[in-house]
Amino acid sequence: MDISILSKNKPDIVLFVGDISEGNIKILKKINSLEIPSFVILGNHDRGHDKTGDILLKQIRILQERFCGWKLKIFNNQLNIIGARPCSSGGGFFLSKEMKGVYGPLTEEDSVKKIISCYRNSREDLPLLIIAHSGPSGLGSEPDSICGKDWKLPSMDWGDRDLSLAISKIQKERQLDLVVFGHTHNELKRNQGGRNMLVVDKRGTVYLNCAVVPRYKKNENDEIIINFSWIEFEDNKLKYISQRWYSEFGEIFSEDILFQIN
């Protein structure tokens, strides 16, 4: 993972949406070395696959305050960040043995309550963002839906039910500005094309899938370019989202604007 691009472009904050390390502690220590404030939600490929939860717990302890699974982070008196269920593999609700080893046999309702508990402690005067590994259910069941299952038939909604239920409860009380996640890749299996990576629901909440895979590729000049999602808030409002490809030197090679308010 090349963090030098982040240092050169100096974002105010960096969010990691999971599937980072396969339990590799060295990568997490590299994240910890970032001088830029950063928050991490771990994905299903980060849980350790040891069934006990020991590797997962070690990662959580290494990340310390950067870890935001089922936690609220208020960044610099500017932004509420709520972490959803960590290590999600999508498909409704499923708790792996590793997750049970760390958190116990939690139910879907328990997870909803944890997310809502974070929301209750958030600040009403600041924008609200949820960071998750898998996005919520309810956003489509086609292969190219933002959380759609494309790798095996039949296609279906592969989002998290607990996250969807929590979002519905929050939206009844205030504006939820943005939900950021990954997990379902942008390039669909079986040559089905590309995934819809941004959706705005009827309540005005924006959903951004950041899982551009592979994140490293070569351009037509045989140079390595690297993908990052770029998000901008201005005057407490979400203003701009794009997918950017950077050169190894931190220069923008190309940019696809997904959301913009003038």
Write out pLDDT tens, residues 158-181.
999 999 999 999 999 999 999 999
- Structure confidence at residue 69 (pLDDT): 97
Query: Is 54:99 a contact under the CB 8 Å cutoff?
Result: no
Q: Domain locations in the chain?
A: 4-260
CB-count exposure of residue 14 (10 Å: 0-12, 13-18, 19+): middle
Q: What is the pLDDT of residues 127-162, one digit of tens each?
A: 999 999 999 999 999 999 999 999 999 999 999 999
Domain 4-260 falls under CATH 3.60.21.10: yes
61-74 core/surface letters (b: 16 or more CB in 10 A; e: else): eebeebbbbbbbbe
φ, ψ of residue 62 to 5 degrees: the values are -65, -40
Q: What is the pLDDT of residues 233-243, one digit of tens each?
A: 999 999 999 99
Instruction: Note the pTM of the prediction, 2 decimals.
Output: 0.96
Q: What is the pLDDT of residues 67-104, one digit of tens each?
A: 999 999 999 999 999 999 999 999 999 999 999 999 99
